Amino acid sequence: MSTDPIIESGMTFGPYPAGQCFYIEKSACYEKVREGVQMAEFLLLRQQQEGPTIWIVEAKSSSPRPETQPNFSEFIDEIRSKLTHGLLLALAARLQRHPAAADELPDSFRTLDLKTQGFRFVLVINGHKQEWLAPLQSALSLVLKPIVKTWALPPNSVVVLNHELAQKHGLILPAAVRHPKQATSLSNE
C-alpha cells in the first residue's frame, strides 16, 4: 500500500518507508468483511530489539475518564475489538485467506515468520495528558491479556500513547510539519 501519510483523529501518521505500513482500515481485504467487524487504523512493521514487530495502531481524538461508566468500559471494549480484529485480519491476509490481500499486502508482511513474529497493540490518543494514560493502559492491558498470553507476547505488547509520546516513537509528525500532499488537500478545502 501507499507510503502517503495517514491522517486520523487530528494526527498525521507517517509517511513510513515503502512496504512497512498496511492501511488495513482502507484495504479491499477489510472492505469485504466490514459489516459487523471493527478495525484498527493500520499495521506498521517496525524493527525492535526482539526482532520485527507489527504494531497494530488505533487512533482516537479523545477518551472517556474511568469514572464515567459505562462509557469508559464501552470505549475500552471498542478498542479491544479494533485491535484484536486488526491482528486477526492481518494473520488471515498473511495466510492468504482473503484473495484481495494478495494484491495489497506489502511483500515485507507476506514473508513474515509467524512462528517468531512479534505484535504490539498501540492506542494513540490525541491531546491527552500523560497522567491520563495510566488508567487506559491498565484497562486495555487487562482486556487484551488473553490475546497477549495465548500468543506468548511480552508484557509490554499493549501500549497507550498520547500525541507527544507517539511523536517521540516516530509514529506521527509534529503538528507544525505538513506533508506536501496534506498541504495541497488542505488548501483545496
Query: Is there a domain that residue 89 lies in?
Result: yes
pLDDT at 103: 87
The residues facing 124 across adjacent strands are 59, 161
Q: What is the mean pLDDT of the chain?
A: 88
The candidate with the shortest Cα–Cα distance to 6, out of 44, 50, 34, 63, is 44
- Grid coordinates standing for 67? 469514572
3-state SS class at 105: coil
Query: pLDDT (tens digit, 9 = 90+) per residue, 9-27?
Result: 999 999 999 999 999 999 9
How confident is residue 66, by pLDDT bands cut at 50, 70 and 90? confident
Higher pLDDT, 99 or 157: 157
- Note the pLDDT of residue 187: 34
pLDDT at 1: 44
- Other beta carbons within 10 angstroms of residue 103's beta carbon come to 9
- Which residues, other chains included, contact 116 with Cβ-Cβ below 8 Å and sequence gap of 6+? 51
On whether residue 99 sits in a domain, the answer given is yes
Residue 1 lies in a domain: no
Q: Domain range holding 130? A: 6-187
What region, left, alpha or beta, does residue 135 occupy, with left being phi > 0 and alpha being psi -120 to 50 degrees? alpha
- Write the CB contacts of 181 (distance below 8 Å, at least 6 apart in sequence): 4, 5
Which residue, chain included where needed, has cell 490475546? 147
The predicted-structure confidence for 107-146, as pLDDT tens digits, reads as follows 999 998 999 899 999 999 999 889 889 999 999 999 999 9
pLDDT value for 175 = 65
CB under 8 Å to 19, separation ≥6 — which residues?
45, 106, 107, 108, 109
pTM (predicted TM-score) = 0.88
At residue 151, does pLDDT exceed 90?
yes
- Does 29 map to a domain? yes
- How many domains does the chain contain in total? 1
Mark out the alpha helices in 56-162 (DSSP H runs): 71-94, 101-104, 107-110, 133-150
List pLDDT tens digits, range 84-104: 999 999 999 999 999 888 889
